[in-house]
Structure 1
Amino acid sequence: MQYDLAIIGSGIVGLGHAWAAARRGYSVAIFEANPRPEGASIRNFGMIWPIGQPAGSARELSLRNQQLWRELGKAADFPVETCGSVFLAHYEDEMQVLKEFAGSACSRDLDLKLLSPAETLQHLPAANPNGLVGGLYSRTECRVHPPTAITSIVSCLSDLPNVDLHFETPVVRVHDGSIQSVEGKSWSADRVVIASGAYFKHLFPKQHRDQQFKICKLQMMLTVPQPEQWKLGPHMASGLTLRHYSAFDICPTLTQVRQRVATTMPELDRYGIHVMASSTPNGELILGDSHEYGDDIEPFDKEEIDQLILREIHKVLQIPQTSIARRWAGIYAKHPQAMYCVKEIKPRTYLVNGFGGNGMTLSLAVSESVIEQLEDIKNLEIPENSF
């Protein structure tokens, strides 16, 4: 079988490329070793998170990405909720960072409002009022339920006449447009996108190593359903989260926040812990998370990490049902400098990876930008693009 585009990997990056190509009329094949998508794309908060992206290209992509999620939600029949987000400040230095960010030119393309303690509780009634200094509300952020969204996208693509899905088909070789499976079957494509996420050691390991991707492991949890009358509302991020997203690096007081945490709570830095929460359609809360990199990653989760996350969650949120129904680890690949990487690694074969924790926030827009440069898919080369 001959395709215009073959994609290795069925996470949101691979699915994004498939959707962008299929809606332009290209013939597309997706190859996935597992029976279904099982990686980081179904193991996250479901946050579409422009506020965390630095101003410039990344922010522009994130805002376009939101539009594409809404279009894809309609096409694949899953909800995309514009829920907004609230950053909580329980320390004066955290509130100062929020003021610096909201007052900077880097936030002009966001719809932000600084909040007093009383206003914060109006926007996020679950916020812990003890020690609450204020907050920052952003109307921009969206929410999907990752397992539902990814399953719906796969189903939508499977119904398209120009898309073939090859699940349970481990690919062992890609060369000059030829794709070969472990069972000896072969297919051909004019272009091949390698979107293998954290599992990049199976195909082109040297080319992936050349990009110096880091593997990151996150521990996350899901509560039991909350009472029906109780709602979290917007995404929640605590002041600890300011340390994690590069959008806030422009704020002078962020150094003070980092120094305070490093001095008073070094255990949080040890495991890269900051705390966020998001709701699911069934009324549960997704809680997290931690960040362990490279040689620090073990196959076993650490109860200490979960307890530290819960400790910090309870400082900033008042949750009626705190029992944990599920725990899991997400693993993703992160580029050491760029927000993502698109690179031709062999003729007609392209590596698209390294999104870190920004896959849900950037990948649809990046996929669109790649496919847009393939108007003549058999002749036009894709320029490398990373920032």
Structure 2
Amino acid sequence: MVRSGAAATVHGVRILIVGGGVLGTMHAWQAVERGHEVVQLEREPEARGASVRNFGLVWVGGRAPGVEYETAVRARRLWEEIGARVPGVGFRANGSLTVVRTEAELAVAQEAANGDRGFKLLDAAEVKALNPALRGDFLGALWCDQDAAVEPRVAQPALRAELERSGRYTWLPGREVRELTANGVRDDQGRSHGADLVLFCTGAWLGGLITEIAGKPPVRRVRLQMAQTEPLPEKLTTTVADADSFRYYPAYRGPALDALNTHPQSEVAAANAMQLLMVQRLDGSLTIGDTHEYDEPFSFDVTENPYDHLTETASALLGRPLPRIARRWAGVYAQALDPALVAHRARVADNAWLITGPGGRGMTCSPAIAEDTAEEAGL
């Protein structure tokens, strides 16, 4: 087996991937594309973690300068290529509008538009021409044409169906891996699965076997609350964010943001570390969120105040009542503690790697993270 940092490449080996979320599935995609046989195990009947409890955003514009932004740009290109091959993932290059309603927010948008990301500052009339569903009162919006969206609840099954067409991919759900061996893994049914290389992509599940083989990885867990509405009876042509997003994405750091931060968020938004993101699903419904909770143990409650805030903010941008919320949920993702890392990737045995901790970048960056793993592992 090729060691980390080696220049040689191995061909035709059997890769076993533990974890059925988008990160694991993208690693399966990379391995199959490179000619390998792949078996993917998932402890649930279907992925149920952060991979399906998100916005489905390929969110490029707000990423930190340097490696994170470059990774997101590369992942956006890969998503578009995958979407062309697998229409079921629902890829669309819809861009995003971050709507501003105060002069302080407008100053942040102007500063970002003066940078090198290709952002464009639109006035209110231009915003409404680009996205007629936005009929509220606002000063304008920051337009990012790099952002895109996919359908998180159906992307993994669609990708797996395409992988199965290769004849070199096997999906085995309902199997929890209990032991890493020199020749593969053993599951909770007592079955052994041979592999030359094991890639653990277990998301926020970092106990049990992961603790045994990797200790305590340098990641933290983050809990969020989100919701989905009934269909909006018209097309939301772009993803929409409110200006609180400026406070949570590193691309907007600068003097104007420092000035904005002297104006506190509303009490509910500040208490729940909130921003509004709103994306329309292909069935017309809207996914809205979100909150951030960082201190464990997490609450088991799904609280209402954040939803009241989201509903009020989204309704103000739409200029009319938000459609009724049809479902609410909470989710937990893993985030690398080192802000310079897009994800935590570590060799945990001669034949195994752990890849986790992309945080809120998981859906956006997973194709590129998997590509980087393939290169580093010599696949």
Q: Could you tell me the TM-score, scaled by structure 2's length?
A: 0.91
Instruction: Indicate conservation of the 8 Å contact 2:75/2:366, yes or no.
Output: yes
- 1:213-268 Cα distance to aligned partner (Å, 9 max, x none): 211111111111122xx21111001101111111112x212122223125xx2331
Report the AA paired with residue 20 of structure 2: S
Report the AA paired with residue 94 of structure 1: E
Whole-angstrom CA distance in 2 between matches of 1:174 and 1:192: 9
Q: Does 1:366 align with 2:366?
A: no
Q: Does 1:125 align with 2:125?
A: no
Write out aligned runs for 1:217-232 (5 A).
217-227=223-233, 230-232=234-236
Q: How many residues align?
A: 365
**Which residue of the partner structure matches residue 209 of structure 2?**
203
3-state DSSP class of the match of 1:292? coil
**Which residue of the partner structure matches residue 14 of structure 2?**
4
Please report how far the alpha carbon of residue 158 of structure 1 lies from its aligned counterpart in structure 2 after TM superposition.
2.8
**Which residue of the partner structure matches residue 179 of structure 1?**
185
**Which residue of the partner structure matches residue 173 of structure 2?**
167
- 1:243-297 Cα distance to aligned partner (Å, 9 max, x none): 1111112x212122223125xx233122111101001111111111111123252
- 1:146-175 Cα distance to aligned partner (Å, 9 max, x none): 112222012222333111111111101113
Instruction: Indicate conservation of the 8 Å contact 1:94/1:257, yes or no.
Output: yes
Moved over 4 A (4+): 206-209
Whole-angstrom CA distance in 2 between matches of 1:61 and 1:71: 15
Q: Does 1:245 align with 2:246?
A: no
Write out aligned runs for 1:76-95 (5 A).
76-78=86-88, 79-95=90-106
Report the AA paired with residue 232 of structure 1: L
Instruction: Indicate conservation of the 8 Å contact 2:108/2:257, yes or no.
Output: yes
Whole-angstrom CA distance in 2 between matches of 1:93 and 1:208: 45
Q: Does 1:36 align with 2:65?
A: no
Q: Does 1:192 align with 2:198?
A: yes
**Which residue of the partner structure matches residue 113 of structure 2?**
102
Whole-angstrom CA distance in 2 between matches of 1:101 and 1:12: 30
Q: Does 1:18 align with 2:25?
A: no
Gaps of 5+ in 2: 1-11
Q: Could you tell me the TM-score, scaled by structure 1's length?
A: 0.89
Instruction: Indicate conservation of the 8 Å contact 1:121/1:129, yes or no.
Output: no
Please report how far the alpha carbon of residue 206 of structure 1 lies from its aligned counterpart in structure 2 after TM superposition.
5.8
Q: Does 1:342 align with 2:345?
A: yes
Please report how far the alpha carbon of residue 3 of structure 1 lies from its aligned counterpart in structure 2 after TM superposition.
5.5
Write out aligned runs for 1:273-312 (5 A).
273-295=274-296, 297-312=298-313
Instruction: Indicate conservation of the 8 Å contact 2:227/2:325, yes or no.
Output: yes
Instruction: Indicate conservation of the 8 Å contact 1:43/1:329, yes or no.
Output: yes
- 1:67-115 Cα distance to aligned partner (Å, 9 max, x none): 211222233332311101101000111111111112124x2xxx32111
Whole-angstrom CA distance in 2 between matches of 1:138 and 1:26: 37
Gaps of 5+ in 1: 378-387
Report the AA paired with residue 226 of structure 1: L
Whole-angstrom CA distance in 2 between matches of 1:205 and 1:267: 36
